[in-house]
């Protein structure tokens, strides 16, 4: 029976230098021509177009949904982005606007971005978001509790959130910038996965730094180890600061090399980003037309 009791005090430690070297080695891969075009299309289909500002209005969200539906009129063969990511009060607006499309609506919840409020109201926020029509929920963990070593209570909050979500996709935001070390990232990832997360996500986009490649690699390796142990497939979502195609392609290379092609799908990998889509579109246009592009000719996100 003992082997079933999870002990988060003894999660594997991470070789930080090794991770950085591996990232550097993967970054030296050259992706050109057809492979680049395929990667750009794939990246586009994995984007969660995001707007999470205090000044968001229904009008802004409608604009973003229009962007999602009509990425760039001159190209007919573009994939859809995966989802729109908004605050809970704007879920209904997004849902109405995206009716009839395959684009999902994701809502942040649980006291985003800090998570510093009591568990009941955080869970109530999830219920509210789902009632409003959210297909996916992006929750934040209590970093304060995590850093204080209260791993059970972090596990508990994620498990209860998943209970409420049921079939709704639950993405767990670790806010890795606040976890300080890669060891902690590994530990938080294991807690989130074993508590029932469908996706683990790096950042809120509100901290000093967003997603970084080393952090993402550690999280991908946690997902891989979990898959080898149980056969379950957990998704990954780096978010915050990924704004150009080159970086996006580097992330895709990491995913492919760590988890294999099965993970190269929007079902298991997403980018949380607001300006990445336009950069990818500009790169696709560059590949097709030859000339360097200008943001003037692409709709605002």
Partner 1 sequence: MNNRLNIAKTYKLYIDGKFVRSESGRFEALQINEDSVVVNICRASRKDFRNAVSSSRKAVDGWWARTAYNRSQILYRIAETMDGRKEQFLEELQCCGMKTKAAEKEFETAVDRFVYYAGWADKFQQLFSTVNPVSSSHFNFSLPENQGVIAIMAPISSPLTGLVSLIAPAICAGNTVVCLTSGNASLAGITLAEALHASDVPAGVVNLLTGIESELAPHFASHLDVNGIVYGGSDSHISKQIEVDAAENLKRVKIFLNGDWSDEAIHSPYDILQHCEIKTTWHPIGT
Catalytic residues: 138, 201, 237
Q: Which of residues 261-290 bind partner 1 (CB under 8 A)?
A: 290
How far apart, in whole angstroms, are the C-alpha atoms of residue 123 and residue 89? 15
Please select the residue that binds partner 1; options are 27, 89, 293, 299, rule is CB under 8 A: 293
Burial class (CB in 10 A: 0-12, 13-18, 19+), 194: middle
| Closest approach of partner 1 to the CB of residue 216, in Å | 25
In b/e form, how buried is each residue of 34-58, taking b as 16+ CB within 10 angstroms? eebeebbebbbbbbbbbbbeeebee
Nearer to partner 1 among residue 49 and residue 285 (C-beta): 285
How far apart, in whole angstroms, are the C-alpha atoms of residue 128 and residue 134? 9
Cβ 42 vs Cβ 241: under 8 Å: no
User: Which span (82-90, 139-147, 209-217, 293-301) binds partner 1, by CB under 8 A?
Assistant: 293-301
Nearer to partner 1 among residue 38 and residue 295 (C-beta): 295
Task: Answer yes or no whether residue 292 interacts with partner 1 by CB under 8 A.
Answer: yes
Cα end-to-end span (Å), the chain = 52
Q: Which of residues 176-235 bind partner 1 (CB under 8 A)?
A: none
HSE value, Cβ hemisphere, 13 Å, CA-based, for 69: 15
Please select the residue that binds partner 1; options are 5, 17, 55, 291, rule is CB under 8 A: 291
Cβ 48 vs Cβ 84: under 8 Å: yes
| Closest approach of partner 1 to the CB of residue 189, in Å | 35
Please select the residue that binds partner 1; options are 47, 297, 299, 300, rule is CB under 8 A: 297
Task: Answer yes or no whether residue 5 interacts with partner 1 by CB under 8 A.
Answer: no
Task: Answer yes or no whether residue 118 interacts with partner 1 by CB under 8 A.
Answer: no
The alpha carbon dihedral of 86, 47, 161, 164 has a sign of positive
Nearer to partner 1 among residue 9 and residue 292 (C-beta): 292
Nearer to partner 1 among residue 293 and residue 299 (C-beta): 293
Instruction: Calculate the CA 246 to chain-centre distance.
Output: 18
User: Which span (66-74, 97-105, 175-183, 291-299) binds partner 1, by CB under 8 A?
Assistant: 291-299
Q: Which residues bind partner 1 (CB under 8 A)?
A: 290-297
């Amino acid at each position: 029976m003992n082997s079933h009791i999870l002990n988060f005090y003894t999660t594997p430690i991470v070789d930080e230098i090794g991770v950085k070297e591996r990232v550097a080695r993967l970054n030296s891969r050259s992706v050109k021509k057809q492979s680049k075009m395929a990667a750009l299309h794939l990246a586009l289909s994995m984007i969660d177009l995001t707007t999470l500002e205090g000044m968001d209005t229904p009008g802004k969200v409608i604009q973003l949904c229009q962007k999602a539906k009509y990425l760039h009129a001159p190209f007919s063969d573009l994939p859809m982005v995966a989802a729109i990511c908004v605050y809970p009060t704007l879920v209904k607006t997004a849902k109405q606007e995206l009716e009839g499309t395959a684009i999902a609506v994701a809502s942040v919840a649980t006291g985003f971005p800090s998570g510093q409020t009591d568990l009941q109201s955080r869970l109530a926020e999830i219920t509210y978001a789902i009632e409003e029509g959210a297909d996916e929920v992006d929750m934040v963990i209590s970093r304060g509790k995590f850093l204080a070593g209260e791993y059970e209570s972090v596990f508990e909050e994620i498990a209860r959130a998943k209970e409420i979500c049921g079939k709704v996709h639950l993405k767990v935001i670790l806010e890795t910038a606040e976890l300080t070390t890669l060891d902690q990232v590994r530990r938080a990832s294991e807690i989130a996965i074993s508590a029932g997360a469908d996706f683990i996500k790096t950042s809120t986009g509100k901290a000093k730094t967003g997603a970084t490649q080393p952090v993402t690699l550690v999280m991908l390796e946690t997902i891989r180890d979990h898959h080898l142990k149980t056969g379950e497939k957990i998704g990954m979502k780096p978010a915050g600061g990924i704004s150009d195609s080159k970086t996006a392609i580097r992330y895709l290379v990491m995913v492919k090399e760590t988890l294999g092609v099965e993970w190269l799908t929007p079902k298991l990998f997403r980018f949380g980003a607001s300006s990445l889509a336009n950069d990818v579109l500009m790169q696709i246009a560059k590949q097709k037309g030859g000339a360097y592009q200008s943001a003037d000719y692409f709709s605002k996100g």
